[in-house]
Structure 1
């Protein structure tokens, strides 16, 4: 799951609908929801794909924000998904719809969020990921701290001055 671009799922479903089901349009109503205001809201196939894409974008951002993420592979796959979706949107007339444009836009947001997360992580590395500082050489004439502390504790206390 780490290296799999989740936004590929709604884009692949859209490709399946366009290429394998030519009689089905993205504007086809899947079901109708009656709201409290008594208005009927027809939910289309395109609406379902966009909602799925938004949910998967949330999981992509969460996946990219975790520590130890495989940033390079995630960025590369996100860029490839965006490039493929943008190419289909621009070059193929079947994909020139608002639904596919919004799915392509979600892929772009995924890619840009990954870059922003990576830049932010590089700006402030946690102590566990920060490179260890170089050890400071200690001159041989300096006694170890433990022996200095012991000698201070063993020194007799100075008598208090009389009042």
Structure 2
């Protein structure tokens, strides 16, 4: 039932009544209903065909809104139904009335709504189409790992180098005068004489020394 134009049903019923039942009138009331207000509502055959056409048009729109529905053949069949109904309305005297004109207009709405729904579906699906998959024969290049940027650290303030310690004072150099005086004092001091016990006073050896 997806590719079948549902609006063909009321149009076909009208054709059957117009060609096969020439004595049936579309304006004679078939049903009389009494409303709560007390008024009688007279329903004719044309009213029933128009009501059926509106309900079938609603089903056609619901079918066209489903994913995958309303292919090119569906639009082509809707266009053929509208073209045939418009040709009968213009060319045949039995179809030149308001009832058949409204049925033809419903067929036109069916065709235009199908085209509009298909165009909108293409506009919505095209941006969301997935990217083409890479063939398995070509290995995917490894994605480089993200390099973490080092956070800048505050540089420490430069520390002043300690001042060099002052060298110890050099010992005072003795003057030349003091050096000369010390030399003279050393020379003038008496040197002690060493006496041998073998010598007697006067520088002679003792008497008991053996004669040579």
TM-score past 0.5 threshold: yes
* Secondary structure at the counterpart of residue 124 of structure 1: helix
Give structure 2 stretches of 5+ with no counterpart. Answer: 147-212
More helix by share: 1
Q: Is the 8 A contact 1:33 1:41 kept in 2?
A: yes
- 1:103 and 1:19 mapped to 2: Cα distance? 17
The runs of at least 4 aligned residues of structure 1 exceeding 2 Å deviation read: 134-140
Check conservation: 1:64, 1:74, Cα contact below 8 A.
no
Task: Indicate the SS of the match to 1:41.
Answer: strand
| SS of 1:69 mapped into structure 2 | coil
1:133 to 131, 134, 137: 131
Q: CA deviation at 1:135?
A: 4.6
Give yes or no for the alignment of 1:23 onto 2:23. Answer: yes
* Runs of 5+ unmatched residues, structure 1: 150-163
The answer to whether the 8 Å contact 2:63/2:70 transfers is no
When normalised by structure 1's length, the TM-score is 0.80
Give the paired residue count. Answer: 143
| Partner residue in 1 for 2:40 | 40
TM normalised by structure 2 equals 0.62
Per-residue CA shift, 1:9-38, capped at 9, x if unaligned?
000000001000000111121111111111
> Match of 2:91?
91
Question: Aligned ranges for residues 4-15 of structure 1 at < 5 Å?
Answer: 4-15=4-15
